[in-house]
């Protein structure tokens, strides 16, 4: 059976308790009560960002930078799936669940000095809803298409206003904004915490041609302006400095940030595609951190007194897909046989080097809605798998491409 890959997933039927990064450590003279701020941190990713206009991105390499430069209305509490205030200090809704009002922070400014306010929030929502044809393609604006659906002026083959979750945005003064929906949606609040829906400077978006661009035959968006590559402008703890494609992206601390100021003066993101090369760069001091650590490298890092592994709870879900249109998988008994015939524990221990846990469902335990009980389990049972195949009338052995 062929394993397939989807966005932000890892192919195998197991939840991966992945190592998110390795960091270089240095001795410090700081006391427990004082700390000096400043310095540059060099972080290696597995590849280049795409561009820095949030709505056009859904990949980790890009969003890692975007979440430093921009803020969202709502954010996740670090290390969890819990939601907490960000640019919106609080929010509420009417009895229908279609009218959501956000009470915004006051005195916040974008990096270009223009004010963050309710009008800026509406500008961003209306921008997405009124995207020109080239930007409506799901390959360009994946999360907007997934969450909100239709557009005000749909391109050929794209959903229109009647299919849209978004209806309108209304500003009441500078610090209160209401998002009106066509229908209730339990996903709205969590959605607004996604980095793709970060709030950006209307002035910069217009000045640097954010909505100019085309989609090529492969569905890749090519910007006709310079906003997403040279002038991304948010309210975040870091300001964008520069991007040399294939070399590095540089951001610097926003000393006027509304929240807790960043510790570092500057962060440099370097693309190093090869896993071994990232580890070597960390060992030599070229970089101070990287993620996507290979399980086999964990022991090497742990043996070093100058390096440290940083873990996170299981969050990526891997799975094996079954195409029910292809015989004999149109038979539920055959699908059940596959489920009983997959040794998930061995997959976790071999593929993830033991740094994972067997999944019960599509959501990891940290996500709200995770079902601790009530989900049908298929423990590894080869004998039962063979029996089900025989019951289904399948001749053994069954070879599957």
CATH topology of domain 47-271: D-Maltodextrin-Binding Protein; domain 2 (3.40.190)
Residue 55: count of CB within 10 angstroms of its CB: 23
Kindly report the average pLDDT of the chain as a whole number.
88
Which tens digit of pLDDT belongs to each residue from 46-86?
999 999 999 999 899 999 999 999 999 999 998 788 899 99
Measure the CA–CA gap between 21 and 299, rounded to whole angstroms: 13
Q: Which residue has the higher pLDDT, 388 or 19?
A: 388
CA torsion sign for 153, 158, 164, 170 is negative
76 token code pair: 């996740």
**C-alpha to C-alpha distance for 280 and 35, rounded to whole angstroms:** 29
pLDDT > 50? residue 13:
no
Contacts of 28 (CB under 8 A, 6+ apart): none
Q: Any idea what DSSP says for residue 197? A: G
Domain-wise residue ranges, the chain = 47-271, 322-391
3-state secondary structure of 359: coil
Q: What confidence category does residue 249 fall into, taking pLDDT thresholds of 50, 70 and 90?
A: very high
From CA 369, how far away is CA 80, in angstroms rounded?
13
C-alpha 369: how far from chain center: 19
Q: 165-207, pLDDT tens digit by residue?
A: 999 999 999 999 999 999 999 889 999 999 999 999 999 999 9
């Amino acid at each position: 059976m062929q394993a397939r890959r989807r966005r932000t997933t890892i192919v195998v039927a197991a939840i991966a308790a992945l190592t998110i990064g390795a960091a270089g450590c240095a001795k410090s003279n700081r006391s427990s009560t004082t700390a000096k701020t400043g310095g540059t941190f060099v972080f290696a990713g597995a590849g280049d960002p795409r561009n820095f206009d949030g709505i056009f991105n859904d990949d980790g390499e890009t969003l890692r930078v975007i979440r430093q430069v921009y803020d969202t209305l709502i954010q996740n509490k670090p290390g969890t799936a819990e939601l907490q205030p960000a640019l919106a200090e609080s929010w509420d809704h009417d009895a229908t669940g279609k009218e959501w009002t956000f009470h915004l922070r006051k005195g916040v400014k974008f990096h270009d000095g223009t004010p963050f306010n309710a009008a800026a929030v509406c500008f961003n929502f209306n921008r997405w809803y009124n995207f020109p044809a080239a930007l409506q393609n799901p390959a360009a604006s994946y999360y907007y298409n997934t969450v909100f659906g239709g557009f005000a002026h749909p391109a050929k083959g794209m959903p229109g206003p009647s299919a849209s979750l978004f209806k309108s945005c209304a500003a009441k003064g500078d610090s209160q904004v209401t998002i009106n929906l066509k229908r209730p949606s339990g996903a709205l609040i969590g959605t607004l915490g996604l980095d793709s829906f970060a709030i950006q400077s209307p002035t910069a978006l217009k000045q640097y041609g954010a909505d100019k661009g085309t989609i090529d035959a492969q569905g890749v968006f090519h910007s006709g302006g310079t906003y997403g590559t040279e002038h991304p402008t948010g309210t975040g703890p870091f300001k964008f400095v520069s991007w040399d494609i294939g070399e590095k992206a540089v951001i610097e601390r926003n000393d006027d940030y509304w929240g807790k100021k960043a510790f570092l003066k500057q962060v440099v993101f370097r693309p190093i595609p090869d896993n071994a090369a990232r580890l070597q760069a960390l060992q030599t001091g070229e970089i101070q951190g990287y993620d996507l650590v290979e399980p086999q490298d964990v022991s090497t890092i742990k043996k070093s007194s100058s390096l440290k592994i940083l873990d996170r709870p299981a969050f990526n879900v891997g799975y094996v897909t079954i195409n029910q249109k292809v015989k004999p998988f149109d038979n539920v008994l055959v699908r059940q046989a596959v489920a009983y015939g997959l040794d998930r524990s061995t997959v976790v221990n071999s593929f993830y080097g033991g740094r994972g846990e067997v999944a019960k469902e599509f959501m990891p335990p940290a996500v709200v809605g995770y079902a601790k009980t009530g989900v049908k389990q298929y423990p590894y049972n080869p004998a039962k798998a063979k029996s089900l195949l025989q019951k289904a009338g399948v001749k053994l052995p069954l070879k599957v491409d």
